[in-house]
Amino acid sequence: MSAQGLPAHILALFTPRPPPQQLPPQPIKRPVKITGCAEFVEFLPKEVPPPREAWESPLERKQRKLKEKMEKHKEEQKKVIATYEPHKDPNAVGDPWKTLFVARISYDTTEKKLKREFEVFGSIKRVRMVYDQKGKPRGYAFIEYEHERDLKNAYKQGDGKKIDGRRVMVDVERGRTVEGWLPRRLGGGRGPGRVGKPSKKKLKKMAAMEGAKKTTEEEKKEEKEKDPKDRYRDREKDRDKEKERGTDRPKDKDREKDREKDQGRDKDPGGREKEREKDRDKDRGDKDREKERGDKDREKDRVDKDRGEKDRLKDKEKAKEKAKDDKDRGGGRGGEKDRERDRGDKDRGGKDKDREKDREKDREKDREKDREKDRGGKDRERDREHRKRDRSQDRGGDREKDRKTKKARA
C-alpha cells in the first residue's frame, strides 16, 4: 500500500530520522601503576591511637542479655537444689512405690475424671492434682494405688492414653525412689518421653550424621587392621562404656532393685509371710471393688426413684390441668351438654345391668329344668330295672309251680 494521497501531517509520521551524530574517537589512557605503601610509612603519625569505642550490634546485645539471664537462673537454681529434699515435703504423702506420676494432662480434666480413667488398672487410694498459687492446674498429678501390681499395670498400659483430647505421659514417682534425681524445673527430669515422627529436614540431618559415623567407623576398622594387638584393649573399653551407660539408666536401676528384692525373699524365711500378706491384700481389694459396685448400684436406684417421683409430679400436674379445663368447659353451654351426655350414659348403664340380671335368671331356670329332666330319666331307668326284676321273679315262681305239679301227677 502506497502512502500517496495522504495528508501532509500523516506523511510526516513515516519520514525517516536524521543520521546519528559522528563523535570523535576516545583517547587511550595509560593505566596507573599500583605500588605498596612502604614508601609512605615515614609520613604516618607515630603517636599512640585513641582507644576504640566498643560497638554492640542488636543481635550481640540480645545474646548477651540471654546469657546473663541464664547465669542468674543457674545461680538461683543451685540454691534451690541445695535445699531440695523430697522426703521432707509435706505434700508428698503415701507410699512412693505405689504412686504413679501422670503428666501432660489437659487443664480441663478434674480429679474425678482422672480417677475414673485410671481406676481401670486397680483400686486407687488417693489422687492429687498439682495447682499453682493462683489455683490453676499445672498439668500433672500423682495417683496412689492400693497394690503395687496395679501400679505396674498402669505404668505399662497407661502411657499414651487419651484424656480430654490430650495424650498423657505416665511414669513412676522418682523423687523419693531414685537417689540424686531432680525434677525438670531444677534441670533434671525424664526427658522428652514420647517422640513423634521426625520431619524431612531432621531425617536428612540424621542421614548425614549416620554417613559421618560410618566414615569414622571405617577409619577405626582400618586402624584396627593396621594394629591387631590393640583389638583386645578396644573391646574392653567398649564394654566399660556400655556398663557406664547401663548404670545411668533409671530403668536398669529399677530392675536391679527388683532383683535384690527377689533375692532377699529367697534368703529371708519371712518371704512366704510377705506373699501371704499380698494375697490378703488382693482379697481385700476384691471386696473393696464389690463394695464400690454396690454403692454405684445404690446410686443408680436413687436416681431411678428421683426420676419416678418427677414423673408422678408431672402426671399430677397434668391431671390438675385437665380438671381445670373440665371446670372451664362446665361453666358454658358445652358443659351442660357434657353433663346431659354423662346422665344418659349412666341411665343406659343401669338398664344394661338390669338386662344382664334377667338373662342370668333365665339361664338358672333352664339349668334347673335340665337337672329335673336328668333326675326324671334316672327314675325311669330305676323303675324299668325294678320291673325287669319282678318279671324274672314271677317267671321263676311259675316254673317252680309247674315242676311241683308235674312231680305230684307223676
Of 252, 274, 245, the closest CA to residue 262 belongs to 274
Q: How many domains does the chain have?
A: 3
The verdict on 323 and 346 lying in the same domain is no
Whether residue 308 is found in the same domain as residue 354:
no
> Which residue, 167, 174, 178, 111, is CA-closest to 141?
111
Identify the residue with better confidence: 149 or 389: 149
- Can you tell me the distance from the alpha carbon of 341 to that of 62, in angstroms, rounded to the nearest whole number? 99
Least confident range from 71-75, 101-105, 144-148, 384-388: namely 384-388
Domain boundary among 166, 186, 206: 186
Residue 175 CA to residue 353 CA, distance in Å, equals 91
For residue 124, is it within any domain? Answer: yes
Which among 10-14, 189-193, 301-305, 332-336 has the top mean pLDDT? 10-14
Q: Is 131 helix (H, G, I), strand (E, B) or coil?
A: strand
The verdict on 144 and 177 lying in the same domain is yes
C-alpha closest to that of 156 among 116, 114, 118: 118
Asked if residue 82 and residue 149 are part of one domain, the reply reads yes
Calculated CA dihedral for residues 376, 382, 387, 392, nearest 10 degrees? 160
Whether residue 34 lies inside any domain: the answer is no
Q: Are residues 175 and 97 in the same domain?
A: yes
At 119, the pLDDT band (50, 70, 90 cuts) reads very high
Q: Are residues 87 and 170 in the same domain?
A: yes
The H or E element that residue 101 is part of is strand 99-103
Show the domain range for 286.
Answer: 270-330
Nearest CA among 187, 152, 192 for reference residue 169:
192
Task: Kindly report, residue by residue over 144-197, the tens digit of the pLDDT.
Answer: 999 999 999 999 999 999 999 999 999 999 988 988 888 888 888 876 666 677
Q: Which of 157, 49, 167 is nearest to 105 (CA)?
A: 167
Structure confidence at residue 1 as a pLDDT band (50, 70, 90): low
Residues 111 and 140 in one domain: yes
Structural domain includes residue 198: no
Residue range 212-245, pLDDT digits in tens: 777 777 776 766 665 555 666 666 777 776 666 6
Q: How many helices (H) and strands (E) does the chain have?
A: 9, 6
Q: Among candidates 125, 250, 278, which has minimal Cα distance to 180?
A: 250
- Do 324 and 343 lie in one domain? The reply is no
Q: Which residues, including other chains, have CB under 8 Å from residue 198's CB and lie 6 or more apart?
A: 206
In a domain, 206, yes or no: no
Which of 68-82, 196-210, 223-237, 285-299 is most confident?
68-82
> Among residues of the chain, what percentage have pLDDT more than 70?
75
Residue 362 lies in a domain: yes
* pLDDT at residue 34, as a whole number: 84
Q: What percent of the chain has pLDDT over 90?
A: 26
Domain membership flag for residue 387: no
Task: Quick: pLDDT tens for 338-368.
Answer: 555 656 655 566 667 777 888 888 888 888 8
pLDDT of residue 333: 44
Out of 3-17, 120-134, 384-398, the most confident range is: 120-134
- Looking at the structure, do residues 370 and 298 belong to the same domain, yes or no? no
- The DSSP-derived string for 320-375 is HHHHHHHHHHHHSHHHHHHHHHHHHHHHHHHHHHHHHHHHHHHHHHHHHHHHHHHH
Last residue of a domain, one of 160, 186, 212: 186
Q: What DSSP line would sit under 149-196, residue for residue?
A: HHHHHHHHH-TT-EETTEE-EEEE--TTTSTT---GGGT-SS-S-S--
Domain closes at, from 295, 330, 365: 330
Beta bridge partners of 128: 142
Structure letter (DSSP) for residue 147: S
CATH code for the domain in which residue 116 is found: 3.30.70.330
Helices 271-331 + 250-267 axis angle, to 10: 110
352 and 321 both lie in a single domain: no
91 with 144, same domain? Answer: yes
Higher per-residue pLDDT: 230 or 22: 22
**Residue showing cell 343401669:** 350
Task: Establish if 311 belongs to a structural domain.
Answer: yes
> Are 317 and 366 found together in one domain?
no
Q: Is residue 140 part of a domain?
A: yes
